[in-house]
């Protein structure tokens, strides 16, 4: 049995598209203290958050719990999901013309213990964004992008924010899927 400890629709869709059946359970994990205490590399923070989500679900011993998280940094500043549309616009202004580092992590836990975790990053080069564009973009994409740390959905109009993208597609969507599939095969949860 596989459980996805996530409220993210796109993570569920990624697994479903790969033919992976999961039960979705909302994680019972407070990210705030972990984010506040962390002053190291984004990859480590993303792993800590993914691991915290995976450990937060206690179920049958044979179940594997998948936890995942993503974070965005621009020029060393870490961004969280916007609290409202005004903050989303402020984030977009701040991203304009800059390179955004998007880090995604995934973890597997069994019986509350982490068995495996992985993090990787992608670089997304945001083109200069005008106020007119930001308004039109948020008119079309709000409130959906309010649930996204970078204020974008690649499966939506978010692709129009960028000049160039370097990194794995699945990492950008919010979960390093290929390493996860390998880890699931190694544990016998998927056929090899």
Write the CB contacts of 84 (distance below 8 Å, at least 6 apart in sequence): 146
Among 159, 160, 138, 27, CA closest to 84: 138
Q: Are strands 113-126 and 162-166 parallel, antiparallel or unpaired?
A: antiparallel
Residue found by looking up tokens 């705030």 in the block: 32
Q: 90: how many CB neighbours lie within 10 A of its CB?
A: 15
Which of these is catalytic: 39, 62, 69, 84?
69
Reduced to 3 states, what is the DSSP secondary structure of residue 25?
coil
62 has catalytic annotation: no
Distance CA 34, CA 75 (A): 21
Catalytic residues: 69
């Amino acid at each position: 049995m596989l459980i996805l400890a996530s409220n993210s629709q796109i993570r569920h869709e990624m697994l479903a598209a790969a033919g992976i059946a999961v039960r979705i359970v909302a994680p019972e994990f407070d990210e705030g203290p972990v984010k506040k205490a962390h002053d190291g590399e984004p990859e480590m923070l993303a792993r800590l958050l993914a691991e915290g989500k995976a450990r937060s679900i206690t179920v049958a011993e044979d179940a594997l719990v998948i936890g995942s998280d993503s974070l965005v940094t621009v020029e060393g500043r870490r961004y969280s999901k916007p609290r409202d549309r005004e903050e989303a616009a402020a984030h977009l202004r701040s991203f304009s013309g800059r390179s955004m580092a998007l880090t995604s992590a995934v973890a597997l836990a069994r019986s509350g213990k982490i068995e495996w975790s992985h993090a990787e990053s992608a670089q997304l080069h945001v083109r200069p964004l005008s106020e007119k564009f930001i308004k039109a973009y948020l008119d079309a994409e709000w409130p959906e992008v309010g649930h996204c740390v970078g204020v974008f959905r690649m499966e939506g109009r978010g692709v129009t924010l960028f000049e160039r993208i370097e990194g794995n597609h699945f990492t950008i969507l919010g979960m390093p899927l290929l390493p996860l599939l390998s880890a699931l095969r190694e544990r016998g949860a998927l056929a090899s």
